[in-house]
Amino acid sequence: MIRLMIVGAAGRMGKEVIRAAAANADLAVASAVEHAAHPDLGKDAGAGAGIEALGVAIGSDLRAGLEACDAVIDFSLPESSACLLEALVSMPRPAVVGTTGLDDNAGRLAAAAAAKTPLIVSPNLSYGVAVLRHLTRSAAALLQGFDVEVMEIHHRNKQDAPSGTAAALLSTLVQGSGRDGGTAVHGRHGKDAKRRPGEVGVHALRGGSVTGEHTVFFLGDNERIELRHVAESRRIFALGALNAVRWLVGKSPGLYMMDDLFR
């Protein structure tokens, strides 16, 4: 059995992970962590997720949580994820980080942690999105003469824009086609908004309760190809995180990708 620490345990995704983990006999929630000012500190992690009490109180001590677990799943805030990545250097545990909006400093912290432990840092832990990135990479290599646009839609309360997944798709396009990543255009407006050669348009829509939708458009003369993924429930991200952490346990230290699960 894999004993898990859930970081961001009282958030929407943290609760999804707790519910999904509780339904699997090979997994157990051993510790649950939130930031020090969270109102749910001290509450049972299971009861907070709408299931039977697990006997695991939500705490704020990362290191105490790490001592109690075999592996980590993190859906929290960028500052909390940064603290986790720092802690993993001295207390290595296989870890899956699904926090969005991470900055370059988090990337450096992830590289340091990955030197000590197996790690996946991904803004989208859906298996389907991993396949979408794989298909996007292949299409970008084959459709060199096509214009490319990326569009994402999320619920009205999502804070970062564009989404981490859209940014990852942009990076995938650069890898697949050799396009200049500096040509990304985030939305268009004004009287001189004509598409320029080589640019990739990135568009973020916000509204309603949309879980997540990402589309990559390859636009040629008289034809177009659309690669699209629609998340109908947050549960897919929780299940993806659980599959990823199972896969990580026993691996050598390193920074892995969701793509590695099906390679």
The span from the CA of 95 to the CA of 75, in Å, is 11
Active site residue 134: no
The token pair that represents 259 in the structure block: 């793509």
The residues, any chain, with a CB within 8 Å of residue 190's CB and separated by 6 or more, are none
CB of 8 closer than 8 Å to CB of 14: yes
Beta strand pairing call for 223-231 and 212-220 = antiparallel
C-alpha 125 chain-centroid distance: 5
Residue 196 zone, left/alpha/beta (φ > 0; ψ -120 to 50; rest): beta
The residues, any chain, with a CB within 8 Å of residue 263's CB and separated by 6 or more, are none
154, 203, 214, 229: the active-site residue: 154
Active site residue 158: yes
Q: What is the DSSP string of 202-251?
A: EEEEE-TT--EEEEEEEEETTEEEEEEEEE--THHHHHHHHHHHHHHTTP
What DSSP character marks residue 44? B
Which residue reads 């990852």 in tokens? 168
Which residue reads 């290599």 in tokens? 141
38, 116, 134, 158: the active-site residue: 158
Residues marked active site are found at 154, 158
